[in-house]
């Protein structure tokens, strides 16, 4: 990395970043030199380098001193501030975002990888600038620090860190104050002529983005002896070195971006590893030529002959962090199967990736592939695992290694799931591996299939495969998902066109069925999702996992769906695979479609219509064939009535066109006619109907006309109805005002303003002000609005200020500051707040501001709200 700025040039750039006058910063530097805080030096050529320690002092002087003349005293006072003790009960000042959700009792606040224990404020700030300056640790600062806060009216400062707290995004404040015997600066000390000037004594906040920019302008010493750099940099150095090498390749910029992201992934992974680990390490599982480590998880209620899922982590992740993110052990507890977590070691790969691209590790009976096979053998021998129900899954490099295991040991694995991975044998080394992930390597289905068939002497049956990929993935190009599908469709001897296509939780799902109707391959494309696994965190039965780097909360759980695809969810109907003997051997049950429809709460007329539509194919098609697949497409979402969510950035509503009472009648009729030979399978019914006639559409329309089905066209229109705008004047309550023709409104016009305070005018305790209105919601309601907040609770560790949005008394969105100040100086848009649990109901929508002070010192909450709309609202009722 080239040398950064000298002191003189640094002050010029710092002034620009802080929005201050360059002349002002020059004078402060002069005062620092004359006051003996820094040694003198020339301004031009030969000016001393701007070290992080120098930058920290000048930054404190600019942030803390109300006037230039107070710079030296401000630096000396604030630099010496000591960390405050944490209040009893871990009541650390914090700001919480989003509604509270149920969290496991064992879940605790994630500890930061940046440990500043015992450091004074000046030392801690200098240490952060060091970390921001160093290539190998900058990403950690970006992922964990929220900003730096300084109070000019009181000698108090804080470093604010972003973390997760019991399922909620949170900002925690590490507060610094005066030592017991220290005195405040003169401008705050009445005994030394201090005068209170409210115009000067305000708080100053520096966001992490600017702190990193400042850090990048400083110069580290050559010996790089900082304890923090030594602690955090030894593993990150490999990433930095790889970034320098990758810069010379055609994909250098993309590789550098990925490496920067992986640094954040590693930081989170190390936090998880430092906490309680649910996994148990096992040894003595064979020769272990790949030099991997073996971890396992066994639920308390694991039955004899339980299934086994092999879970492969991604780069810079660990077995424990991947388990926490994906939620596999949560699912294992619910359904009683065992888990195996092979873990890569740093000395095998500098990014802790599985070496899926190396011929010595991606072939049968060799390297890492054989090590994983030996782990499976140990589990089968010692834990009584049913060797007919062994599955494998992974994400990123773990997804690529999943294709290696499926191809190399198809006789071991009954199924697999590849998340953000690549096809088997797409690369024969690192350079080809980079080309594969960044641009994709395309081959014909026959060429891909031949690579799998050549990997072993096995000739079938072949594992079932689930493929997941985000269409906004910039780390592993989404075309890889299509190439994986081509590879395994060819291996199974299936056509390229899927048998069934349908939306599931708002995302496209494709299915390739075998001759007997068994789902052999499935594919999910997660619209708008970047690299990583799709998650739906929460306490509901269909939810699991923890949102984190490379674990994306997009409203659909890949973990849950994959386990269902493999038939591991014991409390739901299993899929038949053919004859009853085969079904029993694989632990699966034959599902009854009409019974499944009834279990989803359909009315008798709709159930009868679906059964009648399928009756023509009843003899030719097993009950779990196309009817079951269509049922999955249409009915599975009703299982999620209380927890369904939208993916971020997915613009279309989740409602699938053509659904009636939760049943895709059109899809069931189409699948049944295809199975009966009346429609050509493998493509869309409308394009393959005899003579171009939409037979399923005619039947559906006839049933609708007969009164058996509700109007499908009307329902489609209702599901995609325009957003219902809530008139700002239609609210009732106290403590809120309608500000008309206010230029501060989001786009001019009117806006709502709410204010609540406590601790002033002789009042303490909880004070809340709210307004409400009645709203009639449609089938898929979503709330959006813009807001600005000013929450001031920085009195002590117990005072709080909050803004909440409630529906029938249930919080759906919230920001709460505890012992801190939270200000949103610009309008912030909250989009797609899910109201699915209140669908098709008349509800009370409430806006609330609240404040709590335990002493006679003012705590207040202010909120400005505008542009409030509800998608799929049938009607907005006033009064």
**Cα torsion for 3, 9, 13, 18, to the nearest 10°?**
120
Mutual orientation of helices 52-64 and 121-133 as an angle, nearest 10°? 120
Reference 447, options 479, 490, 404; nearest CA is 490
Reference 342, options 277, 410, 380, 291; nearest CA is 291
The Cα–Cα gap between 874 and 869 comes to 12
396 is an active site residue: yes
Write the DSSP string, 483-494: HHHHHHHHHHT-
Reference 377, options 364, 368, 387, 367; nearest CA is 387
- 302 in Cβ contact with 249 (< 8 Å): no
What the block records as the tokens of 142 is 């970006």
What the block records as the tokens of 842 is 């008349």
Coil/strand/helix, residue 170:
strand
- 413 in Cβ contact with 390 (< 8 Å): yes
- Measure CA of the first residue to CA of the last residue in the chain; give whole Å: 64
The Cα–Cα gap between 27 and 344 comes to 55
Name the residue with tokens 């930081």.
Answer: 267
Reference 846, options 822, 828, 827, 865; nearest CA is 865
Name the active-site residue from 269, 326, 396, 757: 396
CA of 448: how far to CAs of 122, 467, 484, 522, in Å? 59, 16, 8, 18
Strands 293-297 and 156-165: unpaired
Backbone angles phi, psi at 774, to 5 degrees: -90, 135
Coil/strand/helix, residue 535:
strand
Any idea what DSSP says for residue 269?
H
Classify residue 850 as exposed, middle or buried by CB count within 10 Å of its CB (0-12, 13-18, 19+): buried
**Cα torsion for 20, 23, 25, 30, to the nearest 10°?**
-170
Coil/strand/helix, residue 234:
helix
What the block records as the tokens of 355 is 């070496």
Coil/strand/helix, residue 681:
coil
Which residues are part of the catalytic machinery? 396
């Amino acid at each position: 990395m080239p040398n950064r700025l000298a002191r003189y040039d640094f002050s010029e750039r710092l002034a620009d970043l802080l929005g201050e006058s360059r002349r002002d910063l020059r004078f402060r530097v002069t005062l620092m030199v004359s006051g003996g805080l820094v040694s003198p030096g020339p301004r031009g050529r030969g000016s001393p380098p701007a070290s992080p320690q120098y930058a920290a002092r000048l930054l404190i002087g600019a942030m803390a001193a109300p006037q230039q003349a107070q710079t030296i005293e401000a630096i000396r006072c604030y630099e010496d501030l000591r960390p405050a003790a944490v209040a009893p009960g871990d009541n650390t000042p914090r700001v919480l975002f989003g509604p509270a959700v149920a969290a496991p009792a064992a879940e605790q606040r994630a500890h930061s990888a940046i440990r500043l224990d015992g450091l004074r404020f000046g030392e801690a700030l200098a240490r952060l600038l060091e970390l921001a300056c160093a290539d190998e640790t900058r990403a950690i600062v970006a992922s964990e620090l929220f900003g730096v806060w300084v109070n000019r009216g009181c000698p108090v400062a804080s470093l604010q860190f972003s973390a997760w707290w019991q399922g909620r995004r949170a900002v925690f404040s590490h507060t610094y104050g005066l030592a017991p015997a220290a005195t405040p600066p003169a401008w705050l000390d009445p005994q030394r002529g201090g005068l209170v000037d409210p115009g000067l004594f305000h708080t100053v906040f520096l966001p992490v983005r600017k702190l990193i920019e400042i850090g990048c302008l400083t110069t580290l010493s050559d010996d790089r002896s900082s304890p923090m750099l030594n602690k955090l940099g030894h593993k990150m150095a490999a990433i930095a070195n790889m970034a320098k090498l990758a810069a010379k390749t055609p994909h250098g910029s993309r590789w550098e971006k990925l490496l920067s992201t992986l640094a954040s992934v590693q930081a989170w992974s190390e936090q998880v590893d430092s906490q309680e680990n649910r996994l148990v390490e096992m040894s003595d599982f064979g020769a272990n030529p790949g030099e991997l480590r073996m971890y396992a998880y066994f639920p308390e209620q694991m039955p004899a002959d339980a299934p086994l899922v092999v879970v492969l982590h991604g780069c810079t992740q660990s077995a424990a962090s991947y388990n926490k993110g994906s939620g596999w052990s949560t699912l294992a507890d619910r359904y009683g199967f065992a888990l195996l977590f092979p873990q890569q070691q740093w000395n095998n790969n500098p990014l802790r990736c599985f070496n899926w691209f190396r011929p010595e590790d991606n072939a049968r009976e060799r390297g890492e592939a054989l090590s994983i096979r030996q782990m499976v053998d140990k589990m089968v021998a010692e834990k009584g695992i049913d060797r007919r129900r062994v599955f494998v899954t992974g994400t990123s490099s773990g997804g690529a290694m999943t294709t290696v295991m499926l191809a190399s040991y198809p006789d071991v694995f009954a199924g697999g799931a590849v998340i953000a991975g690549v096809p088997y044998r797409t690369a024969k080394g690192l350079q080809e591996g980079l080309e594969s992930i960044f641009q994709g390597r395309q081959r014909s289905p026959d060429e891909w299939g031949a690579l799998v068939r050549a990997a072993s002497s096995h000739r079938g049956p072949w594992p079932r495969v689930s493929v997941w990929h985000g269409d906004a993935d910039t780390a592993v190009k989404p075309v890889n998902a299509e190439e994986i599908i081509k590879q395994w469709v060819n291996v199974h001897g299936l056509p390229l066109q899927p048998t069934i296509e349908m939306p599931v939780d708002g995302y496209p799902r494709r299915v390739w069925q075998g001759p007997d109707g068994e789902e052999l391959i499935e594919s999910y494309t997660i619209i708008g999702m970047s690299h990583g696994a799709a998650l739906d965190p929460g306490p509901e039965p269909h939810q699991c996992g923890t949102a984190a780097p490379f674990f994306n909360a997009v409203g659909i759980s890949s973990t849950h769906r994959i386990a269902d695809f493999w038939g591991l969810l014991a409390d739901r109907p299993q899929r038949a695979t053919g004859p009853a003997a085969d079904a029993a051997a694989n632990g699966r049950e034959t599902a009854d479609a009409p019974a499944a429809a009834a279990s989803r709460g359909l009315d008798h007329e709709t159930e009868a219509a679906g059964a009648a539509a399928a009756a023509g194919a009843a003899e030719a098609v097993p009950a779990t064939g196309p009817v079951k697949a269509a049922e999955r497409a249409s009915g599975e979402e009703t299982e999620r009535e209380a927890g369904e969510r939208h993916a971020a950035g997915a613009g279309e509503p989740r409602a699938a066109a053509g659904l009636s009472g939760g049943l895709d009648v059109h899809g069931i009729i189409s699948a049944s006619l295809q199975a009966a030979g009346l429609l050509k399978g493998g493509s869309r019914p409308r394009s393959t109907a005899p003579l171009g006639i939409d037979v399923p559409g005619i039947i559906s329309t006839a049933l609708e006309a007969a009164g058996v089905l509700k109007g499908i066209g009307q329902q489609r229109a209702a599901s995609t109805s325009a957003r219902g705008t809530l008139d700002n004047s239609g609210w009732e309550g106290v403590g809120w005002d309608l500000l008309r023709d206010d230029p501060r409104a989001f786009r001019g016009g009117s806006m709502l303003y709410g204010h609540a305070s406590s601790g002033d005018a002789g009042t303490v305790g909880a004070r809340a002000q709210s307004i409400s209105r009645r709203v009639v919601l449609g089938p898929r309601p979503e709330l959006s609005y813009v807001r600005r907040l000013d929450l001031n609770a920085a009195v002590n560790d117990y005072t709080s200020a909050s803004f909440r949005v409630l529906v029938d008394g249930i919080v759906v969105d919230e920001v709460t500051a505890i012992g801190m100040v939270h200000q949103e100086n610009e309008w912030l848009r909250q989009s797609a707040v899910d109201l699915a649990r209140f669908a098709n109901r008349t509800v009370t929508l409430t806006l609330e501001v609240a404040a709590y002070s335990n002493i006679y010192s003012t705590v207040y909450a202010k909120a400005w709200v505008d542009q409030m709309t509800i998608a799929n609202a049938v009607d907005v009722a006033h009064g």
